[in-house]
Chain A
Amino acid sequence: DTAVSQTPKYLVTQMGNDKSIKCEQNLGHDTMYWYKQDSKKFLKIMFSYNNKELIINETVPNRFSPKSPDKAHLNLHINSLELGDSAVYFCASKSTDTQYFGPGTRLTVL
């Protein structure tokens, strides 16, 4: 069974569109994250939720909106996509001190 899953794996879309990425974890963890890894491979935290509550909101454009319907799911919705949003987005969940990453979603904005 996949511990942290993301859909879709690849997402190609036009500038200005709105898209969503879904994440689910079956590890029973309370804390989940969204990270962005850009072309230079730098992994930057975007958001963190603990038991459906937003606890970390880094300096991210408000076009990005996370939603956590329950503690096993953390989705990311992106409005008005821009070229600079092209990156790999990783979802992760956390036990005491270990983060478990999903397989990533490669977003390409044309």
Chain B
Amino acid sequence: QKEVEQNSGPLSVPEGAIASLNCTYSDRGSQSFFWYRQYSGKSPELIMSIYSNGDKEDGRFTAQLNKASQYVSLLIRDSQPSDSATYLCAAPRGGYQKVTFGIGTKLQVIP
């Protein structure tokens, strides 16, 4: 079982819809989780971090964490074509020094 699993997609949503990106992890000891966005040909950039069970909102983005189910999700409301990118879920291990990334979900927002 991979440490961090994501569906590689592509996930296609119409402009203005809610995009839902999902991630599961295997290490029950993981305490924090991150969502990175990577545009094609560019480097990953952090867009959300979440440490506690429940929801965390930042603008159009909401991260959701359920530690009992070992599940993390990212919701993007009012999706825009500029949100089209690959979204990488990540979890640190070993005192935050090592970060394991999922394979990433490619999101396509259709105008």
- Interface residues of chain A, those whose CB is within 8 Å of chain B, are 31, 40-45, 48, 50, 55-56, 90, 94, 96-99, 101-104
Contact = CB atoms under 8 A, between A and B. Distances in A.
B59 to A, nearest CB: 17
A97 B97 contact: no
Given A97-B32, A97-B34, A45 B46 contact: no
B43 A102 contact: yes
A90 B43 contact: yes
Nearest to B86: A41
Interface in B89-104: 92, 94, 96-101, 103-104
Contact of A97 (B36, B38, B44, B92): B92
Interface of B: 8, 32, 34, 36, 38, 42-46, 49, 86, 88, 92, 94, 96-101, 103-104
A90 B42 CA distance: 10
Contacts of A56: 94, 97-98
Contact of B96 (A43, A90, A97, A101): A97
Contacts of B86: 41
